[in-house]
Homo-oligomer: A and B are copies of this chain.
Amino acid sequence: MKATYRALLEHGYAGLSISRIAEELDKSKASIYYHYDSKDALLVAFLEYAADQFESSVATETGDDPRADLEHVVEKLLPRQLDEEQRQVQSVVLGLRGQAVTSEPFREQITAMDDRLASTVREIVDRGIEDGTFRDVDSWRVAEHVLATVNGAMYARATTDRENAVVAARDSLSAYLDVTLVGESSPPESESSTQADETSTQEAQPSTQEDGT
């Protein structure tokens, strides 16, 4: 599994082959077939392994401050500064996830992963509602909104060079949670000056696609 992980990192999903895995493993191709019946079987096993890695990299203690717990989850998935190891785990998982478009078994696994993540978020929101910290919102909807935004931003981080966009989305999500769950108060930090330094890639780019405006 670790060798597969390394091979995936180096060559991407498209470039993943038994030879490459064997190389990382420092064993022969044939030896891999002793442990797995086929490449597909190995891949299915790996997807499970990768899901575990990803989820334990996200797992977080939940305390008795729901708003902090929520922020903690978001921070785990979408840290302002992504360290190299997390970047790698995420791009591998995203690479596999892409295969779910055309592969049934992959799709099932990914669906289960998102289900678990969404439940985690929803449970935190529910707890907050019960203990009176949060307003009586539709926890399911809110959880799905959070998950979609976080996934979208992770996805952008892995497939574009729009780092600032990721941070902006994250900040806006936090502000949204404050307004929706807690009420009107804005958090200690500012409201319109956290956005780095305007050196962003999407600033001052007047849209090449349409003629309107």
Contacts and interface: CB of A to CB of B under 8 A. Distances in A.
Contact of A148 (B15, B152, B175): B152
Interface stretch (A20-28, A29-37, A92-100): A92-100
**Contact-residue size bin, chain A (C-beta under 8 Å from the other chain):** 35 or more
Contacts of A210: 59, 62, 120
B138 A165 contact: no
A176 B115 contact: no
A48 interface: no
Interface string A139-170: 01110110111111101101111100110110
A129 B162 CA distance: 25
A92 B57 CA distance: 30
A91 interface: yes
Interface in A176-213: 176, 179-180, 191-192, 195, 201-203, 205-210, 212-213
Contacts of A94: 98, 101
Interface in A88-119: 91, 94-95, 97-103, 107-108, 110-111, 114-116, 118-119
A165 B118 contact: yes
B151 A155 contact: yes
A7 to B, nearest CB: 12
A114 B100 CA distance: 22
A85 interface: no
A75 interface: no
13 contacts: A12-B101, A101-B158, A111-B160, A114-B156, A116-B209, A119-B202, A119-B207, A120-B209, A127-B213, A145-B176, A147-B165, A148-B156, A152-B155
Given A115-B205, A119-B206, 17 more contacts: A14-B99, A55-B209, A59-B209, A97-B159, A98-B159, A100-B160, A110-B159, A111-B160, A114-B156, A116-B207, A116-B208, A127-B213, A141-B192, A142-B172, A147-B165, A152-B153, A176-B180
What 6 A-B pairs are tightest by C-beta distance, nearest first?
A152-B152, A98-B98, A12-B102, A145-B172, A148-B152, A148-B169
